Amino acid sequence: MQTLETTHPKLLELKTRLAEIHDIQAAASLLYWDQATYMPPGGAAARGRQLATLRQIAHEKFTDGEIGDLLNALEPYVADLPADSDDASLVRVTRRNYQRSINVPAAFMAKFSHCRSQCYQAWARARPANDFSLVRSHLERMLDFSREWANFFPGYDHIADPWIELADYGMKAVDIRTIFAELRQQLVPIVQAIAAQPPADDTCLRQHYPEADQIAFTHTLLSQLGYDLQRGRQDKTLHPFMTNFSIDDVRITTRIYEQELGQGLFSTIHEMGHALYEQGIAPELEGTPLAGGTSSGVHESQSRLWENLVGRSRSFWHYFYPQLQAAFPDQLNHVSLDTFYRAINKVARSLIRTDADEVTYNLHVMIRFDLELALLEGTLAVRDLPEAWNDRYTQDLGLTPSSDSEGVLQDVHWYTARIGGMFQSYTIGNLMGAQFFAAAIAAHPEIPQQIAQGQFHTLHDWLQTKIYRHGSKYTPAEILEQVTGQPLTTAPLMHHIRQKYGELYDLS
């Protein structure tokens, strides 16, 4: 009642406009979801046009000068409110997004968009052909556009900062470089120590696991972990993702490999971590720019927390392994929990990021982050990128790619989106995930024991209260400080790695 009485008329108008834009964006997300799950091949050409049309309309409506006028008119009103009130947060976050949208001319974005699709198509040919030269000139144009875009935001410390801010608001290249260097210094010797030991045996994962049985198992897993299937669903896709059309319709997609069990299991838990965040946002933020996770890094912290800190823990499988054995008796009845646990936590140096384990994963990310910065700075030329890539792999992971496909062509990111701010969120997410999980356990030391009993409500409620419900009200740094009392730090992640892998390997 009070809300209705006190709502500023300009705020109502702003919310009405934002809700309309939100609806259009939700429709675009559904078009994308359908494209990645059920769309027949014939639908592709029209779908591209439909997506472009909806995005264009949403962009036009959001960059309408009326939005700017409404934001200006509301400044005196929100100045009197607490900064973390819904209304003040709405105006602040909307202004941030608005400014970002109007800074870049529509004509530039149209050209950039064309360049992106050309480059993506060239990459799609270059990767199977294993030939970087087929995409080099396109990537050079991507770099030019990426630099030009950044220059619409003058006053940056580092040219990558505007791109980094887009994904992880408030973070800057210099700070990330510092913390990544610290992390790398600690990780490299651990990886070396493990590499010197006999590899863990993961053959139990590499058996035939029929798709339908895997889907059925992950489905029961999802409900037990707290994912609300009345407000979500799980479908098959090629490249798993989470998407949402409202707080009450948050879907995940999963990739199943019949010859390898880990892919389906852990990509499901990973995407579910993203989905729990979106399902947990306070209903009163629905239809506004606050109704979404606050940054890529914080989002990744939630997926990684559930995937790695919960889903790859011994206590988790203490509870679930009997269920898994019951689902796959032929494959697993003769495999002990300990063997299975070692298999899902096998550490191995590899050339491919998406195959990497919890320990080596961040090394892959940091290589990409450093190369992005060097490209944007102009200290590395696109033509020298494959060599620089291979050198860093040799140095950090002790392996040298024998071809571009298992080197610089492996990830689509640079070839379809931009160069800049594309990778840091993965490692920021791992760091934050460990910080949040440590804080949760400090507040509720019973959590690990509950996990071992298949109980997740304490952890889930804590994350809901501390993180999920706020949506985008707080910046990543604010939420981290509020919840953990600390800025971004490597200590909890390294503590987790040393403890867990110290038990599995000799790290002395």
Which residues contact a second copy by CB under 8 A?
A: 19-20, 23-24, 26-28, 30-31, 34, 38-43, 45-47, 49-50, 53-54, 57, 228-233, 235, 245-249, 251, 286-287
Query: Of the candidates 102, 73, 78, which has an alpha carbon nearest to the alpha carbon of residue 90?
Result: 78
Rounded to whole angstroms, how far apart are CA atoms 164 and 88? Answer: 24
**Phi, psi of 236, deg, nearest 5:** -85, 145
> Smallest gap, in angstroms, from Cβ of residue 46 to a second copy?
3
**Nearest distance from C-beta of residue 332 to a second copy, angstroms:** 27
SS3 (DSSP) at 272: helix
Q: What is the nearest approach in angstroms of a second copy to the Cβ of residue 63?
A: 16
Q: Pick the catalytic residue from 5, 60, 148, 271.
A: 271
User: What is the end-to-end Cα distance of the chain in Å, rounded?
Assistant: 63
Output 34 or 211, the one with its CB closest to a second copy: 34
Annotation marks residue 478 as catalytic: no
As a whole number of angstroms, the distance between CA 281 and CA 272 comes to: 14
Select 64 or 175, whichever has its Cβ closest to a second copy.
64
Q: Residue 13: which of 61, 65, 67 has the closest Cα?
A: 67
Tell me whether residue 26 or residue 166 sits nearer to a second copy (CB atom).
Answer: 26
* Least distance in angstroms from the C-beta of 50 to a second copy: 4
DSSP strand pairing (242-246 vs 234-236): unpaired
Contact 187, 507 (CB under 8 A): no
Q: What is the rounded distance in angstroms from the CA atom of residue 460 to the CA atom of residue 464?
A: 6
Q: How far is the CB of 27 from a second copy (least distance, A)?
A: 5
For the bound state, the minimum distance from the C-beta of residue 345 to a second copy, rounded and expressed in Å, comes to: 33
Token pair listed for 427: 């490692």
Compute the distance between CA of residue 325 and CA of residue 314 in angstroms, rounded to an integer. 15
Nearer Cβ to a second copy (34/75): 34
Minimum CB separation of residue 280 from a second copy in Å reads: 13
Name every residue whose Cβ is closer than 8 Å to that of residue 112 and which is 6 or more positions away in sequence. Answer: 145, 149
Least Cβ distance, residue 131 to a second copy (angstroms): 30
| Residues β-bridged to residue 257 | 260
5 or 49: whose CB is closer to a second copy? 49
Nearer to a second copy, 4 or 212 (CB): 212
The amino acid at residue 150 is A
Q: Which is nearer to a second copy, 162 or 287 (CB)?
A: 287
Question: Beta 242-246 vs 249-254: how paired, if at all?
Answer: antiparallel
Evaluate whether 298 touches 278 at the Cβ level (below 8 Å). Answer: no
Angle CA(301)–CA(304)–CA(309) in degrees, nearest 5? 115
Beta bridge partners of 249: 246
Distance CA 166, CA 152 (A): 13
Comparison of 249 and 461: residue with beta carbon closer to a second copy: 249
Contacts of 99 (CB under 8 A, 6+ apart): none
Reading the block at residue 491, the tokens are 């200590």
Shortest Cβ 467–a second copy spacing (Å): 21
Query: Which one, 17 or 353, has the nearer CB to a second copy?
Result: 17
Cα separations in angstroms, 61 against 66, 68, 293, 416: 9, 11, 22, 25
The nearest distance, CB 117 to a second copy, in angstroms, is 17
Residue 27 or 215 having the CB closest to a second copy: 27
CA–CA distances in Å: residue 4 to residues 8, 11, 20, 282, 331: 9, 11, 20, 18, 59
CA distance 170 to 476: 7
Q: Which of 313, 231, 205 is nearest to 269 (CA)?
A: 313
> How buried is 5 (Cβ within 10 angstroms: 0-12 exposed, 13-18 middle, 19+ buried)?
exposed
SS3 call for 422: coil
Token pair of 411 as six digits: 């990830």
Active site residues: 271
